[in-house]
């Protein structure tokens, strides 16, 4: 009978292969008292173990070929950096000296203290950074205990095409296993936001994590199916199921390799309209993914993530460093840095207005409204973005604009900051493009006014739909009303695109609607030429663009825009997508 194990699917895809159980065994650590005169020897033993861990990680990094289609060495570098962090290396030394205890125990005590800090974090992404600490700590513990991992590494030929089952995998192990040709993996621990999971996604490797227990009945060498999209591992399957999954895998592999081939191809329609495909990013991993998907640049960098989950506000220098680091990863591709969109559902512990609970936060003091009210919060960001513009192609984008008065105020402030930087002798690009997001119906209805004064516009459909249809985007109860095809929404989008065209100002769309291929032809027919989408959607959108001849369906798109009946709109859209 089929055994089904459920976990969190961290990537899409189906893998079928023989099981390879990677048993590492738990590392057990006990406290031992160290005589005073041997304490410094114990410190030296700990420091040697850290150095060996460093050498191991460097050698794993060096064994990964440069041609690997992903910047996986970054994940290993994160662990190497942790080995230089005093929280993991100096603090245990202090503990060995203070408590006169063994190195293993001191390291465990420090690990537990750090884990508690991470457990208390609200942000699920940061919380899972605890996994990275555990991976580094376990590596050092194994060295201290003489259980050096490298002696147990399986040979590549044993691994090729297998599905690895393990209690946990570090990013370094995952990178190596991928290099050794495994088909996928399932781990008992780990969450979908861990670095290992992010890496599996980036590598396009089917994987599930957090299965809690993988029973010993699933033996080495037996055939299993890993259905990552559905978060399932199937063992002891019958022939019919196996056949069905093989067919599904073939279909999916074909689709994936077709999409991958598009990376180096331009996004041009069949009738020769060139489209700019940009990426939306929040975290560093997204920037790497954007590069891998060969995005034309970043169309939306949500900077508020830098401000979340901390009790202080990042200063100008910290922000500048962060922007420059993202730009370095982009290697010269243009980046659109959106100024702070805090407030409403995006909270920041240190936010000046955080004590004030707005009765209706989405309509309250958020984004540019908050920034204009609290110049101390906004000016350092404007300075940092302008200073970053001296080092590469940067555009600044303002969220949630709603009126000419607000626009005047923000443009005056930017000019003021430019003059201040010049007085301070700090470099910036005086021609750095300044654009605005059109997310409020009032802004869409008066898009011409914004197009006249700004260098570019970007339609934020997530908020535009929320405000046009009066649907709180975070309230599950009204999700069913969230409708990008509502005639009011479509007409507002069209007005913005037309206003941009009239003023010869580029208009992009960076809301989720832009990344859903169901709407790609509709948007092309409305005249949209710049799409900013999540990196994982980019190639699918590109595929649709390449299969579209806009001149064939412009009339149909006009019909959709003139239609009021939702069912008629849906049926016209389906006709449009079948052309």
Active-site residues, by number, are 195, 510
Grouping H, G, I as helix, E, B as strand and the rest as coil, residue 505 is coil
Rounded to the nearest whole angstrom, what is the least distance from the CB of residue 395 to ligand PEP in the complex? 15
- Which one, 362 or 388, has the nearer CB to Mg ion? 362
Pick the binder of ligand PEP from 4, 8, 73, 462 (CB under 6 A): 462
Closest alpha carbon to 397 in 273, 277, 281, 494: 281
Least distance to Mg ion from the beta carbon of 313, Å? Answer: 21
Residue span 327-366 as binding mask against ligand PEP, x where in contact by CB under 6 A, dash where not = --------------x-------------------------
Contact 473, 463 (CB under 8 A): yes
Question: Quick one: 439 or 530, whose CB is closer to Mg ion?
Answer: 439
CB-based contact 49:149 (threshold 8 Å):
no
Interatomic CA distance for residues 336 and 317, integer angstroms: 19
Pick the piece of the chain touching ligand PEP (CB under 6 A) from 162-170, 310-318, 461-469, 558-566. Answer: 461-469
Which position among 61, 135, 139, 302 is part of the footprint of ligand PEP (CB under 6 A)? 302
Helix axes 538-546, 239-261, angle to 10 degrees: 70
Closest CA to 146 of 290, 282, 27: 27
By CB under 6 A, name the one of 463, 472, 530, 563 that touches ligand PEP: 463
71 vs 285, which CB is nearer to ligand PEP?
285
- Is there a contact between 202 and 289 (Cβ–Cβ < 8 Å)? yes
SS3 226: strand
Select from 130-138, 154-162, 406-414, 456-464 the region that touches ligand PEP (CB under 6 A). Answer: 456-464
Find the binding residues for ligand PEP in span 113-142 (CB under 6 A): none
Q: Which does 461 bind (CB under 5 to 8 A by kind): ligand PEP, Mg ion, none?
A: ligand PEP
Q: Which residues, in sequence order, are CB contacts of 220 under 8 Å at separation 6+? A: 18, 19, 20, 21
Minimum distance between the CB of residue 465 and ligand PEP, rounded to whole angstroms?
A: 8
Q: C-alpha distances in angstroms, 212 versus 179, 286, 298, 444?
A: 26, 28, 38, 49
**27 half-sphere exposure, CB direction, 13 A CA radius:** 22
Per CB under 5 A, does 285 bind Mg ion? no
Q: Is 190 in the site for Mg ion (CB under 5 A)?
A: no
- Token look-up 């989408």 returns 533
460, 500, 525, 535: which one binds ligand PEP (CB under 6 A): 460
Q: How far is the CB of 463 from Mg ion (least distance, A)?
A: 4
How many of the other CB atoms lie within 10 Å of CB of 98?
Answer: 10
Sign of the four-CA dihedral 567, 572, 577, 579: positive
Sign of CA dihedral 170, 171, 172, 177: positive
Look at residues 433, 574, 415, 420 and name the one whose alpha carbon lies nearest to residue 506: 433
Distances (CA, A) of 4 to 15, 241, 533: 15, 13, 35
Residue count at the site for ligand PEP (CB under 6 A)?
A: 10
Q: Which residue of 275, 510, 560, 573 would you call a contact of ligand PEP, by CB under 6 A?
A: 510
Q: Which is nearer to ligand PEP, 80 or 283 (CB)?
A: 283
Q: Is residue 460 part of the contact set for Mg ion (CB under 5 A)?
A: yes
Among residues 131, 132, 304, 463, the one that binds Mg ion under rule CB under 5 A: 463
User: Which residues, 391 to 450, sit near ligand PEP by CB under 6 A?
Assistant: 439
Q: C-beta of 490: minimal distance to ligand PEP in Å?
A: 15
Stretch that binds Mg ion, among 227-235, 311-319, 404-412, 436-444 (CB under 5 A): 436-444
CB of 282 vs Mg ion, minimal distance in Å: 13
Report the largest interatomic distance among the alpha carbons of the chain, rounded to a whole angstrom.
Answer: 88
- The residues of the shown chain that bind ligand PEP, judged by CB under 6 A, are 300, 302, 341, 439, 460-463, 510-511
């Amino acid at each position: 009978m089929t055994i089904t194990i459920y976990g969190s699917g961290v990537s899409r895809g189906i893998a079928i292969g023989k099981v390879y159980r990677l048993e590492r065994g738990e590392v057990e650590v006990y406290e031992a008292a160290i005589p005073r005169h041997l304490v410094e020897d114990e410190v030296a033993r700990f420091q040697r173990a850290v150095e060996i861990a460093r050498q191991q990680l460097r050698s794993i990094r060096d064994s990964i070929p440069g041609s690997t289609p992903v910047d996986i060495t970054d994940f290993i570098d994160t662990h190497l950096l942790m080995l230089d962090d005093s929280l993991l290396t100096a603090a245990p030394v202090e503990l060995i000296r203070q408590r006169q205890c063994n190195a293993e125990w001191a390291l465990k005590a420090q690990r537990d203290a750090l884990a508690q800090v991470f457990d208390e974090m609200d942000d699920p992404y940061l919380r899972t950074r605890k996994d990275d600490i555990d991976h580094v700590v376990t590596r050092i513990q194994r060295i201290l205990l003489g259980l050096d991992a490298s002696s147990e590494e399986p040979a590549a030929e044993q691994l090729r095409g297998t599905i690895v089952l393990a209690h946990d995998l570090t990013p370094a192990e995952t990178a190596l296993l991928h290099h050794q040709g495994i088909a996928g993996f399932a781990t008992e621990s780990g969450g979908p936001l861990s670095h290992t999971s992010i890496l599996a996604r980036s590598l396009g490797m089917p994987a599930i994590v957090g299965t809690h227990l993988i029973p010993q009945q699933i033996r080495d060498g037996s055939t299993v199916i890993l259905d990552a999209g559905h978060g399932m591992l199937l063992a002891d399957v019958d022939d019919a199921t196996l056949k069905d999954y093989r067919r599904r895998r073939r279909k999916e592999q074909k689709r994936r390799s077709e999409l991958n081939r598009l990376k180096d191809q331009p996004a041009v329609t069949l009738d020769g309209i060139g489209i700019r495909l940009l990426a939306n990013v929040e975290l560093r991993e997204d920037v790497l993914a954007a590069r891998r998907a060969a995005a034309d640049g970043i169309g939306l960098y949500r900077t508020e993530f830098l401000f979340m989950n901390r009790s202080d506000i990042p200063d100008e220098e910290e922000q500048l460093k962060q922007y420059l680091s993202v730009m370095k990863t982009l290697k010269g591709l243009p980046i659109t840095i959106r100024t702070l969109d805090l407030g409403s559902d995006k909270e920041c512990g240190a936010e000046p207005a955080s004590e004030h609970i707005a009765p209706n936060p989405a309509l309250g003091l958020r984004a540019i409204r908050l920034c204009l009210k609290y110049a101390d919060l906004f000016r350092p960001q404007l300075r940092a973005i302008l200073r970053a513009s001296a080092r590469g192609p940067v555009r600044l984008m303002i969220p949630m604009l709603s009126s000419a008065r607000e626009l005047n105020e923000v443009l005056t402030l930017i000019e003021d900051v430019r003059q201040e930087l010049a007085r301070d002798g700090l470099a910036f690009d005086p021609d750095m493009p300044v654009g605005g997001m059109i997310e409020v119906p009032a802004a869409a209805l008066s898009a011409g006014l914004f197009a006249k004064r700004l260098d570019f516009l970007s339609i934020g459909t997530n908020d535009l739909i929320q405000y046009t249809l009066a649907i709180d985007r975070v309230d599950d109860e009204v999700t069913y009303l969230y409708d990008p095809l509502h005639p009011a929404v479509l007409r507002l989008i069209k007005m913005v695109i037309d206003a941009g065209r009239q003023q010869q100002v580029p208009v992009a769309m960076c809301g989720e609607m832009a990344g859903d291929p169901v709407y790609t032809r509709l948007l092309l027919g409305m005249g949209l030429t710049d799409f900013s989408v999540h990196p994982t959607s980019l190639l699918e959108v590109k595929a649709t663009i390449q299969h579209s001849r806009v001149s064939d369906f412009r009339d149909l798109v006009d019909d959709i825009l003139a239609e009021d009946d939702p069912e008629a709109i849906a049926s016209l859209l389906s006709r449009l997508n079948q052309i």
